[in-house]
Structure 1
Amino acid sequence: MMTNLFSSFDPSTQMNFSLNWISISIGLIFLPSMFWMIPSRINMMWIKMYSILSNEFKIILKIKSMKTGTLIFISLFSLILLNNFLSLFPYIFSSTSHLVLTLTLSLPLWLSFMIYGWINNTTHMFAHLIPQGTPSILMPFMVCIETISNIIRPGTLAIRLTANMIAGHLLLTLLGNTGSKLVFEMISLLLLFQCFLLILESAVAIIQSYVFSILSTLYSSEVN
């Protein structure tokens, strides 16, 4: 039971080689070749979404003229969104439900922000450790609290995405395993409930990719 339940989260294969991680690049196959050449509805939809996200990230980063400053965060959003949606298909490896992938995305970003901030804006980074208006007696405690909150940021980013993706997949798997033990009327109700749950998981896939990218943008804005 446990092996079947968590088999979709197992990165190993029968050949003792983690070919399942190739699923990260499978999304390129779903895009038609004409997407890269001739503008289509999919292309126009993506350009519209890119424009909305770019304007929102520019407000957070306080960027007015530079158009490529938000490209890394939009690319991060696209990568997570694509992998979240791919994991909803049957028999496709759920890569975003592993800390190996999510920590690989969040940890280098956080390290680069911290290194840049402490090298170029040292005074600003020290001032960030003590919120304005803090009483003198509480300053040592606030420094410890702010330091800990900064250190755990990449972990919270990774765990938030992983936990949300695992929760929905486990619920779908548990409900699917009970289908063989139900009568026909209950199976129809189960299928209807799973359809609604799949719609909810699609919304979670979009929301979690947006939350991951927007929090990364906020962390970047704090070091400037």
Structure 2
Amino acid sequence: MQRADILTGGAIIAMLAFSFFGIQSAYAAITNQLDFGDRGEDVTELQTYFSTTPVIYPERLVTGYFGPLTQAAVRRYQTAHGIVSQGTPVSTGYGRVGPRTMASINAQLIGRDESAPLISSINVSTGSTSASVGWMTSEGARGKVYYDTSPIRVSNIFDVNGVFSGEPTVSGILAQYDGVERSAQAVNITGLSPNTTYYYLIVVLDSSNNVSVSLPASFRTNQ
């Protein structure tokens, strides 16, 4: 087996680091209860937060106006978090941001982990028809390796509205992985062609779905 160390001197590879919850470093807490028809910064903050979770707010519109789409998103959030799932804004608070809903959302906003795991110590060991890609992360994370004989491309980092869309789309073949969070990872790639250059890229996600992507690199299999 031939071993190719991609990093020297223990340096951390330059990388693209993204967060599933957006590119902001922090969210502001919501300071007022919100009802249908309200406008302002609190509504904007609410919509910005909801826009990072398509299952809650698939429209992802940040307008500063609390209309029917935002109210539907509030109801989905309340149901998903066990706050309330029936009634009206007046009778049960269903569809309005009352004290319980505001406290739940603010706990998510203020206590959120937005730090993407750092990738370091990338190394590749190659055979004639296989390769092993290993790396370290600064915290436990799930790791994926994409590879191909053509340069790897990364896309769909942001959607058409400029909102971060989560894990990016990566070209190439996804190597088999187990989805277990570890700080030391290794992925084995088999079925390669001898004496061939392969490009690869690593994607890691922590328990909060913060994402880091390594810079594309390459290795060559043995003859």
The answer to whether TM tops 0.5 is no
More strand by share: 2
Please give the TM-score of this superposition, normalised by the length of structure 2.
0.25
Q: Which structure is higher in RCO with an 8 Å CA cutoff and minimum separation 6? A: 1
Please give the TM-score of this superposition, normalised by the length of structure 1.
0.25
More helix by share: 1
